[in-house]
């Protein structure tokens, strides 16, 4: 038996907006909720790219095309749960309640960009590949030891599965049955390295077999399927039944970052073909039209509200003063410890030139 047969490609609504099977996650109410979040996320992403081109923020990592994977998974969490994003997961963090101003500030190089709103358990975006997998596993283990029912969800790309932290995190989570959902967004490339050059397995989901945990392979552009499968994994973890590995197969339309030139390593026509046939936002629009629930005026109003919301966030971001450089020393431990205090004093002594 081919091992991939154990991991069928899960899809509830296809690229034409046709519902393929009955599922409680497929409702008009959910479709509108998903559409609103995904549309806003795409507008945010394009706004951020434009800001970078104008020199108003630094290098930026676009996520256009991956909205279905991020929104479907983020909305499966409850308020008290933990989210561990990468630098490309702002659709997820915004949907989970992060401040838009702070997300923009992150790309402006301000420490405030790493601080979520009070009461929101969102870790700063992780840049070292796969390191957040260990953070998520450790945090979920702490919640388990405290006796809470909080769950960690951690995002990572296909390239992260080539890192040791991925395997250490999954192994530890399996051994101690930790309430964590490992959410892989497989967009086919680790920067410029195609997935077939990274691994010899046909799927990422099948890597779950080595750690004796459930593995799921889902259409990452089908927000209904992503939401349904993530909800199952979250509920399973919350009941004390351990971790799950989810592989959401998707595609990023644009560059790895705004300093990247993707035409050097992949066929640019592929992005346009996928945009025409497999776009996560268009899929929900087609579903709503098939259900007789599409409203063009509603969509236009959404766009107007989203643009206003984004403009206010940009204005607030640009009014924010330069961060106090000493803040990098103030959030390391709960109380001051002498080595950090000594480093802080040396830093300011050097900065003053004395």
Choosing from 265, 266, 331, 346, which is the catalytic residue? 265
With CA atoms as reference, report the closest residue to 301 among 50, 68, 36: 36
With CA atoms as reference, report the closest residue to 217 among 6, 10, 13, 3: 10
Choosing from 90, 150, 236, 252, which is the catalytic residue? 252
Q: What is the CA radius of gyration of the chain?
A: 21
Distances (CA, A) of 198 to 161, 186, 195, 327: 9, 12, 5, 39
Name residue, tokens 């601080």. Answer: 115
Name residue, tokens 């499968």. Answer: 229
How far apart CA 161 and CA 155 sit, in angstroms, is: 11
Cite the DSSP H helix spans in the chain.
28-53, 67-74, 90-95, 100-107, 131-146, 164-175, 195-198, 223-238, 268-277, 280-290, 296-319, 338-352
Could you confirm whether 309 is annotated as catalytic? no
Choosing from 121, 135, 256, 283, which is the catalytic residue? 256
DSSP state of 11: -
Distances (CA, A) of 115 to 102, 104, 118, 169, 335: 7, 12, 9, 24, 18
How far apart CA 55 and CA 87 sit, in angstroms, is: 19
How far apart CA 25 and CA 254 sit, in angstroms, is: 29
Could you confirm whether 252 is annotated as catalytic? yes
Whether 298 contacts 309, CB under 8 Å = no
Could you confirm whether 256 is annotated as catalytic? yes
Q: Could you give the residue numbers annotated as active site?
A: 252, 256, 265
């Amino acid at each position: 038996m081919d091992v991939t047969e154990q991991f069928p490609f899960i899809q509830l609504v296809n690229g034409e907006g046709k519902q393929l099977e009955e599922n409680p996650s497929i409702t008009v109410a959910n479709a509108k909720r998903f559409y609103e979040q995904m549309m806003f996320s795409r507008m945010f992403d394009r706004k951020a790219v434009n800001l970078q081109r104008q020199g108003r923020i630094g290098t930026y990592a676009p996520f256009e095309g991956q909205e279905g994977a991020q929104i479907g998974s983020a909305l499966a969490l409850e308020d008290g749960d933990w989210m561990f994003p990468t630098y490309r997961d702002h659709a997820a963090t915004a949907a989970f309640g992060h401040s838009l101003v702070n997300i923009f500030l992150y790309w402006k190089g301000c420490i405030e960009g790493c601080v979520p709103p009070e009461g929101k358990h969102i870790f700063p975006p992780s840049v070292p590949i796969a390191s957040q997998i260990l953070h998520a596993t450790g945090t979920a283990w702490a919640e388990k030891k405290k006796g809470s029912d909080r769950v960690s969800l951690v995002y990572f790309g296909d390239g992260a599965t080539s890192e040791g932290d991925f395997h250490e995190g999954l192994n530890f989570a399996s051994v101690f049955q930790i309430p964590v959902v490992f959410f892989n967004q497989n967009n086919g490339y680790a920067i410029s390295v195609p997935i077939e050059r990274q691994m010899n397995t046909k799927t990422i989901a099948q890597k779950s077999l080595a750690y004796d945990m459930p593995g799921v392979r889902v259409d990452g552009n089908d927000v209904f399927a992503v939401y349904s499968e993530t909800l199952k994994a979250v509920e399973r973890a919350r009941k004390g039944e351990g971790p799950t590995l989810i592989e959401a197969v998707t595609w990023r339309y644009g560059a790895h970052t705004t300093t990247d030139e993707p035409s050097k390593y992949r066929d640019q026509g592929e992005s346009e073909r996928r945009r025409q046939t497999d776009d996560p936002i268009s899929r929900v629009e087609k579903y709503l039209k098939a259900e007789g629930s599409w409203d063009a005026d509603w969509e236009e109003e959404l766009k107007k509200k989203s643009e206003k919301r984004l403009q206010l966030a940009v204005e607030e971001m640009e009014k924010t003063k330069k961060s106090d450089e000493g803040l990098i020393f103030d959030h390391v431990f709960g109380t001051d410890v002498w080595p950090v205090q000594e480093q802080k004093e040396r830093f300011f002594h050097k900065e003053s030139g004395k």
